[in-house]
Amino acid sequence: MPRFARYVTLTILLSVLATLGGCNFIYKIDIQQGSVLDQDMVNDLRPGMTKRQVSLVMGTPAIASPFRQDRWNYVNTVSLRGGPEQLKTLSLLFEDNRLVKIEGDYLPEDSEMAESAEESEPAS
């Protein structure tokens, strides 16, 4: 191969690589960690449910303190395509093994738990 053809080939190759280097061809996946929560699961919660019934609906809590067994915390982080991480939490409070209160980023819609959650929120 003549020397001139090598330079042309090398120049074209470097130009293509430089052009492609500026493009973002790397596929970034959505990353979800912690408890997988959705609004339908929270809507299924009812006041008076036992811990066993709640665990069948929600799964086991991400954080269960041995010192406060009446509070279950679910934590969920989502990073969409390399964007900023979003942190969402859900806390369930029990009295005498029965669900009495929901706190956090997920609140039930159209249920008795929504009414009790709204009553417990401070007025602004």
Buried/exposed 8-25: b ≥16 CB within 10 Å, e otherwise: eeeeeeeeeeeeeeeeee
Provide the residue range defining the domain that includes 58.
Answer: 26-120
Q: Report yes or no on 75 lying in a domain.
A: yes
| Residue 71: CATH number of its domain | 3.30.1450
Amino acid (1-letter code) at residue 80: L
| Sequence-distant (≥ 6) Cβ neighbours of residue 100 within 8 angstroms | 47, 93, 94, 116
Q: Report yes or no on 85 lying in a domain.
A: yes
Per-residue model confidence as pLDDT tens for the chain (124 residues):
677 788 888 888 888 777 766 666 667 777 778 888 888 889 999 999 999 999 999 998 877 778 888 999 998 888 887 678 888 889 999 999 999 999 998 888 765 555 555 555 544 4
| Sequence-distant (≥ 6) Cβ neighbours of residue 95 within 8 angstroms | 70
* Cα–Cα distance, 88 to 86 (Å, whole number): 7
* Cα–Cα distance, 23 to 86 (Å, whole number): 26
Q: Report yes or no on 41 lying in a domain.
A: yes
Total of domains in the chain: 1
pLDDT value, residue 84: 84
Nearest to 113 by CA among 99, 97, 96: 99
Q: Report yes or no on 9 lying in a domain.
A: no
pLDDT value, residue 56: 93
Q: Report yes or no on 53 lying in a domain.
A: yes
* Cα–Cα distance, 68 to 61 (Å, whole number): 13
pLDDT value, residue 124: 41
* Cα–Cα distance, 27 to 42 (Å, whole number): 32
